[in-house]
Structure 1
Amino acid sequence: MNNSDKDFELFRESVGSVRRVRSDRVQSRPPAPRAQPRQRQQDERAVMDDLASAPIDFSAVETGEEISYLRPGLQKRVLTRLRRGHWRVQDQIDLHQMNLEAAGRTIREFLAHAEREGFSCVKIIHGKGLRSGPDGPQIKRLAARLLSRHSRVAAFASAPPHDGGTGAVHVLLSTRR
């Protein structure tokens, strides 16, 4: 006799006589219903209803004409908020009727002015470049190039439609380090 047989005999002696319980019932308890993710289904229906009936946010729609830049290390939501006009524009310039040289000089002077004044958000109206000919919107490209290289520019994005749309850019300036 091995140890497991000895243990079984000891158990039988301790328990005593046993009588089997007979029952006519097939199961003592009905099976549990299958789990349904009802809250998730309600949430998904609510989202689909909102998407179907909510007004379209045109500032989130990309058409290919928008320009934007986000300094590495910043969160994408900064750019989203800038596109939606989250920050109050503290000053603005209009580059219409300027040539490239004058526009470049004006942008640099304007950013220096914004830095001296401690502004955090400014607007540059560069126009859509509709009369630029086959070369496209040159002042718009110049503005994007200068802004993306400027040390104080944290982000920029085309303005919301009510504030100039793709003919203007909102610029978020970082605080001085």
Structure 2
Amino acid sequence: MRKKTPVSNLPDEEKQLFRDSVTGARPLQQDKIPFARQPGKVRMAATLTNSSPDSHLFYFSDQYEGFFSDSQTLAFVQTGDDPTLARQLKRGEFRPAVVLDLHGLTQQQAKTELAALLAYCEQQHFNCACVVHGKGLGILAKRVPNWLVQHPNVRAFHTAPTEWGRDGALLVLLRTPT
């Protein structure tokens, strides 16, 4: 980096050369317009809640506690369904058609969104969904499986493979209307 030379040290001919080059220059007028920021991407949460999500909430009771082992892996298969469904979900043989992210939601909001997701999957004839509940304090991680067990359209669920969120998500296999 070059050091600035003080003006007093410059020879007189250079000072005159500078004065000649700036003669007739006018100072710029300040327009006092502040810089306008370009608006960033607006993140809109895709809400799955339909007009009457409360009609699907009767399936979910907060008092119900399903029996799940203390291990990180959760697996459930509805009574009467093929017992290999959980293993197929674990291997990633079913690809989710829709993903629901419950991060940052309260329990009531999560319950409403989960009910809306199940209604949406039934309406769209989707047979597999991914529910991302996250790890965090583990509140939703405990509640979501208990809610899913209560729903009659849930055939099976299993802790998601790594590509879909692992311990912070569940792959859910659903009955599709015929």
TM-score (norm 1): 0.59
Structure 1 residues 63, 162: closer, same or farther in 2, change over 3 A? farther
Q: Which runs of 5+ in 2 are unaligned?
A: 1-68
What secondary structure does 1:76 align onto?
coil
2:110: which partner in 1? 103
1:65 aligns with 2:72: yes
How many residue pairs match? The answer is: 110
Q: Deviations over 1:28-60 (max 9, x none)?
A: xxxxxxxxxxxxxxxxxxxxxxxxxxxxxxxxx
1:163 aligns with 2:164: yes
1:153 aligns with 2:154: yes
Deviation at 1:175, TM superposition (A): 2.4
Q: Deviations over 1:92-117 (max 9, x none)?
A: 11000111111111100111111100
Deviation at 1:63, TM superposition (A): 8.3
What secondary structure does 2:76 align onto?
strand
CA contact (8 A) 1:92 1:122 kept: yes
More helix by share: 1
CA distance in 2, matches of 1:155, 1:94: 19
CA distance in 2, matches of 1:127, 1:106: 15
Deviation at 1:75, TM superposition (A): 2.4
Deviation at 1:66, TM superposition (A): 1.6
Deviation at 1:73, TM superposition (A): 1.4
CA distance in 2, matches of 1:141, 1:170: 15
Q: Counterpart amino acid of 1:159?
A: A
CA distance in 2, matches of 1:140, 1:113: 22
Which has the greater radius of gyration? 1
CA distance in 1, matches of 2:128, 2:113: 17
Deviation at 1:84, TM superposition (A): 1.0
Q: Which runs of 5+ in 1 are unaligned?
A: 1-61
CA distance in 2, matches of 1:174, 1:91: 15
CA distance in 2, matches of 1:154, 1:142: 18
User: What fraction of aligned residue pairs are identical, expressed as a percent?
Assistant: 29
TM-score (norm 2): 0.59
2:139: which partner in 1? 138
1:75: which partner in 2? 82
The list of structure 1 runs, each at least 4 consecutive aligned residues, that deviate by more than 2 angstroms after superposition, is none
